[in-house]
């Protein structure tokens, strides 16, 4: 049976990959800073990392990831409206 920690690590790596992918796509001009897809990748990626750091009780990093998620949500709202 796979432990809960393995699932958390997989989610965390997925989140980190999405954040790096968003940044790469921004740098190579596939997305721009106003793209909803850029902000969605950032929001989902930050939640993935937030899950791991929260379970590790790393609250300062949890705060940072949550703030990053909120900023991405603002970007999503701006892109939609």
Model confidence band, residue 35 (pLDDT cutoffs 50, 70, 90): very high
Q: In percent, how much of the chain has pLDDT > 70?
A: 99
pLDDT bracket for residue 40 (50, 70, 90): very high
Length of the chain in terms of residues written: 81
Domains of the chain, by residue range, sit at 4-80
The mean pLDDT value for 29-52 works out to: 94
pLDDT at position 2 is: 75
Distance CA 55, CA 25 (A): 30
φ/ψ of residue 64, rounded to 5: -60, -45
């Amino acid at each position: 049976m796979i432990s809960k920690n393995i699932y958390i690590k997989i989610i965390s790596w997925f989140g980190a990959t999405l954040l790096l992918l968003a940044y790469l796509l921004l740098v190579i001009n596939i997305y721009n800073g106003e793209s909803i897809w850029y902000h969605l990748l950032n929001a989902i990626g930050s939640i993935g990392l937030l899950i791991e750091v929260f379970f590790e009780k790393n609250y300062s990093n949890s705060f940072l990831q949550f703030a990053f998620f909120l900023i991405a949500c603002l970007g999503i709202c701006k892109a939609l409206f």
